[in-house]
Structures are given as C-alpha cells and as structure tokens.
Amino acid sequence: MKWYADRPGRLAWQVVADLLAVAWVWFWVTAALAARDAVLALRGPGDGLTRAGSGLRDTFGEAAAKARDLPLVGGKLGEALDRGRAAGGTLVDAGNTQVEAVETGALWLATALIAVPVAFLLVTWLPLRVRYALRAGAVRRLRDTGRRDLLALQALNRLPLRELARFDGDPAEAWRRRDEHVISLLAARQLAVCGLHDRGRRGTAAR
C-alpha cells in the first residue's frame, strides 16, 4: 500500500485532507468531553441527597443504639429511631440513583458525540484513502517491476474517453500491437493519475 502520492500537488491535498480528518476527530472529542463535564455538573443534587441521607442514617443509627440501653422504653424508642435511620438510607439510595443516572447520561452523550462524527469519517474519508493506497500501491509495483504494458492497460480501462481521444489513432489498437511509444504514454498517464513519478518513461506526453 502507498498512502501518499509522489507529486507535490496531489501530496499536498492528501496531507491537508488527513489533517482535516484529525482536526475533525479532535474537535468532536473535545466537544464530547466538554458536554460530559457539563452533564456531570448536574450530579450535585444527587450528591447532596447522598450526603444528607448518610448523615441522617448515621445520626439516627447512633441514637437508636443508645436508646436501646434505656430501661423500659428503650426498645420501642430504638425501633422508632430505626425508622429514621431507614429514611436516611432511602435518601442515600435516591441520591445514588440520581448520580448513576447523570453519570450514565454523560457517558452516552459523550459516546454519541464521538461515535457519530467518527463513523461519518469512517464511511467517507477512510474508504477513499484506503482505495487510493491500494491502487497506488499496485501501480507502484507495476512501475517498479517494469510492467508498463499493464499500466497502459489500466489507463485504457480507466481513462475517460476524452483523454483517450487525444491520442493519435486508436490507443487500444496500438496497445495490442505493442507500440512502445503509446504504451509509454498510457503508462505515464496512469502514473500521473495516481500522483506517482514516472521513472522509466520513454516518449512524450500525449497532446
């Protein structure tokens, strides 16, 4: 695979596109973290309930333990105070539930804000980059192994008709005749389409 072109113009566009992709991800990660922090700020009331309930539960629990030591009424008074301790426990549970809901919401919000833009990038930018890398890698191998006839054949299959019409005569027929000049021109054009340097070109560009 070859991720970047040799020619400066194509290479510059690829670098800019990749930097924009990185900036896109960085922006949404930053936005997601900021949104998560904003949502987590809403857990304050839940934390307050938890602290209040914990204090209430501990206070009534200590009072119930001491009340049971009293003669005659200690048992009933301890039971009454235990109900206060239970109420404190209920407040703790309510606070914890609220905190968990806020934390879960913050997590899913951050995940969505990152996942959706990244998924968009993966179905738009990434396939183009991978397709180019595979194509350019294959073209480079053909160039480096001297298979200019196959490069020329690729050009015949992929170049638009207006490009092929600029050749003198029928380039397909010339390719079948193994015309070295036409093969060289077609191979050079295919390399240029991929932004690669033509290291073994013989001949001049087609007009």
Residue at 2 is within a domain:
no
Does the pTM exceed 0.75? no
Q: Residue 186: inside a domain, yes or no?
A: no
**pLDDT for position 28:** 95
Instruction: Establish if 82 belongs to a structural domain.
Output: yes
Of 28-32, 53-57, 66-70, 109-113, give the lowest mean pLDDT range. 66-70
- Band of the pLDDT at 117, cuts 50, 70, 90? very high
Residue 134 within any structural domain of the chain:
no
pLDDT of amino acid 202:
42
Contact 40, 102 (CB under 8 A): yes
Q: What is the mean pLDDT of the chain?
A: 83
Residues 139, 154 contacting (CB under 8 angstroms): yes
Whether residue 145 is contained in a domain is answered as: no
pLDDT above 50: residue 46: yes
For 175-205, what is each residue's pLDDT tens digit? Answer: 888 888 888 889 988 898 889 988 755 443 3
Kindly state whether residue 143 falls inside one of the protein's structural domains.
no
Percent of the chain with pLDDT over 90: 30
Q: Is the pLDDT of residue 98 over 90?
A: no
Any domain includes 199: no
Q: What is the pLDDT of residue 81?
A: 64
Q: pLDDT tens for residues 2-37? A: 899 988 988 999 999 999 999 999 999 999 999 999
Domain total of the chain: 1
Tell me the mean pLDDT in the region 88-93: 79
Separation CA 81–CA 64 (nearest Å) = 5
Is the pLDDT reported for residue 107 higher than 90? yes
Within a domain: 26:
yes
> How large is the average pLDDT for residues 93-100?
86
User: Which structural domain range is residue 79 located in?
Assistant: 8-119
